[in-house]
Amino acid sequence: MSDLNGPVISVKDLRKEFLIRNAHIGSLKTLLLWRRQRDTRRLDVLKGISFDVAQGECVAIIGRNGAGKSTLLSLLARIYKPTSGTVKVQGRLAPLLELGAGFHPDLSGAENVQFNSIVLGLTRKEAKERFQEIWDFSELGDHIWAPVRTYSSGMLARLGFSVAVHVDAKVLLVDEVLAVGDHEFTQKCYARIRTFQAEGGTILLVSHQEETVRQFANRCVWIQHGEIVRIGTPEEVLPDYAAHSEGEL
């Protein structure tokens, strides 16, 4: 049974490694003979990180590219399985990760809305009833009937966000996807996120924009080389991080 009084997100000693295969061609002779020498190396992306997120919190994951931020969100979204450690999420989760993730390129936006709404936990009846609201929020107009392979990155962001905030999720995972939208729609999304927070929703946010982190996050988790450097409020963590990273968030 779930512990309703416990954290909404609980990450304990989480580790993730990938095995990378390198192929080497030693000489023209081996190339002609179709022989390849292979070696495998282990890439440790996350090295035993632990933290909790309470209901209603927005926690920002910060760190330079390659620190392990997106891998962490993919583990929470159950796209990857951890090498060891545990990840627990209480309540329905809506991930906003890579652009177009979960969308079938040859299906229309409308068909993808129906499919993704069901994948994220709605019944078929609920997905039908929410369709108009999702369509209106996305502001895609007649493009909703076109295959999503014809969508721009901004249109994909609109569709993905619109679905995510209309499926009664308790937890949002947001990985920088709003950075590609136009300013007006981005502000509309931020307003919806504030409403989500005010209603007790929980957010785990990856962003390289300091203003966004300061605006929404209660706490920051600074990750470097797959390990946690520091956890604290944005006011506590961001100055140290900026000094360490020469201003890069």
Would the CA dihedral through 24, 26, 32, 34 be positive or negative? Answer: negative
Domains and CATH numbers, the chain: 9-14+50-244 (3.40.50.300)
Residue by residue, pLDDT tens for the chain (249 residues) are 345 567 999 999 999 999 876 655 555 555 555 545 456 778 899 999 999 999 999 999 999 988 999 899 999 999 899 999 999 999 999 988 876 677 999 999 999 999 999 999 999 999 999 999 999 999 999 999 999 999 998 899 899 999 999 999 999 998 876 666 678 888 888 899 999 999 999 999 998 888 889 999 999 999 999 999 999 999 999 999 998 876 555
pLDDT at position 2 is 42
DSSP H/E element including 133:
helix 124-138
pLDDT at position 12 is 97
Radius of gyration over every alpha carbon of the chain, rounded to an integer in angstroms? 20
CA distances, 231 to each of 175, 197, 236, 240 (Å): 19, 20, 9, 11
For Cα atoms 85, 89, 92, give the angle at the middle one, nearest 5 degrees.
150
pTM: 0.82
Q: Dig out the tokens for 114 from the structure.
A: 């129906």
Across the chain, the runs of DSSP E, i.e. the strands, are 9-24, 37-53, 58-62, 84-89, 93-96, 171-175, 202-206, 219-224, 227-232
Rounded CA-CA distance 212/217 in Å is 8
CA dihedral defined by 214, 8, 48, 44, rounded to 10 degrees?
-70
